[in-house]
Chains A and B, each alone.
Chain A
């Protein structure tokens, strides 16, 4: 009896893939229209960048010309050298930004993966309450916390602790509370097969050793996605660093650039060249790691 049964199943199963292939393509004309719209959007999306690159290579007089030129008549590469050399702090800002982003990233990935693992795989009293608090704090607008965070950092110094105002660590540490990473890593660890730990716990490995030697190596895709998203957030950060940093030598690159236009007034050729130093690293990152990027952005739903 079993054979005709399977035969019938096979018979029924076969035509199905055929139906899927009959996926109707949209008619020709609408495809042409869609392509036209798509190219138009691409034009709008890329044009400001193209103009920035061209502007950053113009001479100080050409950049003020009317009508504005699309391609510089002379390519003035010195703009980039001058931006680097003429403003005393430019290399310092880049170094500060690299330090802040790198330090933040390492610490953030560590604490988020630890916490995410606890939520994903451990039972403990209070888990639901704490997780709800974390979800709830997604709703708190960052600006509400400016005043209290500033006062907390000031109080630490007043009580004899380290000086955090006007210090790079004052930028880094409060950002470690950023909610999204824990949420993201919890979801990621939940998606890993449970068998991973079961084998390890049979060998009698401790929870932490299992986490370090078995789980983390398997969590690289999740960590990479989170790292890229957070790097973008921290490298581009403006609001909180603006409150913490006071003197120019303690600023990060975005802050420095923002202070730039006041500093240089109408020297747009330098402003645009400076902006390239901030924009290019993230753009390269996105182009090379698109897949990770899109995955993490979709699950966060927020611009970092």
Chain B
């Protein structure tokens, strides 16, 4: 008897709420439509195409894991992966450290800090195309970068983006310039959450600003550092715009990246299946990097 009444009560209470549920789903419907097609659906399609051979003209042919096997043996892909890894290992630490220093300086209540904040942030609002075009010009043999180096006593006139040894470093420099301030803002927000008494105690104990920074600020900011390192690594592994605009992966594949290869395979050579497999591999790599970094960096601060 009791079980029966409970069974009856539940549907009736559901019935009372169904109007609310319909309303909620009506509010959600427009967004869900786009989410389900262009992200969730597209992701499953990418997975499906990665098991096929597909050139857009004839129907996709299922070929199992062949695309993945091809990727593992593909020297070009491995070379691209190496480039991107080098790029990440250099850029992420420099840009994180720079962003941290910038945030710590802005946190010092210096005069003109509002001006500094906007001025430092401006590189982040220019489009990747504008940044790349400007730096392509600055990096010319007769450009301002060589000129500045000459002024400080390094007499060189290199074609930065045109030479194998300097092309990737040149892209590193332009991207550090263009993104450090975004990460600075994350640190700045985190710094505002650090309890002020900690600093007061430190300065009463006679700790100078440098020691306070390394022994108090940095440890307390570990969660923010984790976030910045993860987002930075994800961004670095996706390096594309600057390569596409400035170097097309050259010279001699020196700036070839995974995403550029994905574009070339998919949209120049119409190997949609192989391009999808490269995309899935990129996704997995990024996912693993996030997990690994979480393991080592994401430690809650203890106040």
**Residue of B at shortest CB range from A63?**
B137
Q: Does any Cβ of B come within 8 Å of A144's Cβ?
A: yes
| B120 and A111 contact, CB distance less than 8 A | no
Q: Does any Cβ of A come within 8 Å of B215's Cβ?
A: no
Q: Does any Cβ of A come within 8 Å of B94's Cβ?
A: no
Segment at the B interface, from A4-12, A77-85, A122-130, A190-198:
A122-130
Q: Which residues of A contact B125 (CB under 8 A)?
A: 232, 279, 282-283, 285-286
With contacts A140-B43, A238-B241 known, is A52 near B134, CB below 8 A?
Answer: yes
Which listed residue, A238, A272, A283, touches B134 by the CB 8 Å rule?
A272
Segment at the A interface, from B72-80, B164-172, B177-185:
B177-185
Complex interface bits, A42-71 against B, C-beta within 8 A gives 1, otherwise 0 = 101110110110010000000011111000
| B34 and A177 contact, CB distance less than 8 A | yes
| A38 and B142 contact, CB distance less than 8 A | no
Interface residues of B in 64-119 (CB under 8 A from A): 101-102, 105-106, 108-112, 114-119
Q: Which residues of B contact A35 (CB under 8 A)?
A: 110-111
A66 to B209, CA, bound (A): 43
| B143 and A68 contact, CB distance less than 8 A | yes
Number of contacting residues on B, CB 8 A?
102
With contacts A30-B208, A139-B286, A143-B259 known, is A148 near B276, CB below 8 A?
Answer: yes
| A144 and B119 contact, CB distance less than 8 A | no
Which listed residue, A48, A286, A297, touches B182 by the CB 8 Å rule?
A297
| B234 and A141 contact, CB distance less than 8 A | yes
| B283 and A290 contact, CB distance less than 8 A | no
Q: Which residues of B contact A283 (CB under 8 A)?
A: 122, 125-126
Q: Does any Cβ of B come within 8 Å of A95's Cβ?
A: no
Interface residues of B in 228-270 (CB under 8 A from A): 231, 234-235, 237-238, 240-241, 244-245, 259, 262-263, 266-267
Number of contacting residues on A, CB 8 A?
102
Q: Does any Cβ of B come within 8 Å of A100's Cβ?
A: no
**Residue of B at shortest CB range from A19?**
B200
Q: Nearest-CB distance from A218 to chain B (Å)?
A: 17
| A275 and B133 contact, CB distance less than 8 A | yes
Q: Does any Cβ of B come within 8 Å of A105's Cβ?
A: no
A282 to B37, CA, bound (A): 30
Complex interface bits, B124-163 against A, C-beta within 8 A gives 1, otherwise 0 = 1111111011111110001110010010000000000000
Q: Does any Cβ of A come within 8 Å of B24's Cβ?
A: yes
Most buried by B among A35, A137, A147, A272: A147
| A67 and B42 contact, CB distance less than 8 A | no
| B39 and A152 contact, CB distance less than 8 A | no
Complex interface bits, A93-107 against B, C-beta within 8 A gives 1, otherwise 0 = 000000000000000
A174 to B39, CA, bound (A): 9
Q: Does any Cβ of A come within 8 Å of B297's Cβ?
A: no
**Residue of B at shortest CB range from A255?**
B129
What are 8 A-B pairs at a CB distance below 8 A?
A38-B110, A114-B31, A147-B276, A151-B45, A152-B37, A179-B39, A286-B122, A301-B186
Give me 6 other A-B pairs in contact (C-beta within 8 A), A38-B106, A272-B134 excluded.
A41-B102, A144-B280, A147-B275, A254-B128, A272-B137, A297-B124
**B residues in contact (CB < 8 Å) with A:** 17, 20-21, 23-25, 27-28, 30-32, 34-35, 37-43, 45-46, 49, 56, 101-102, 105-106, 108-112, 114-130, 132-138, 142-144, 147, 150, 177, 179, 181-182, 185-186, 188-189, 196, 200, 203-204, 208-210, 227, 231, 234-235, 237-238, 240-241, 244-245, 259, 262-263, 266-267, 272, 275-276, 279-280, 282-283, 286-287, 290
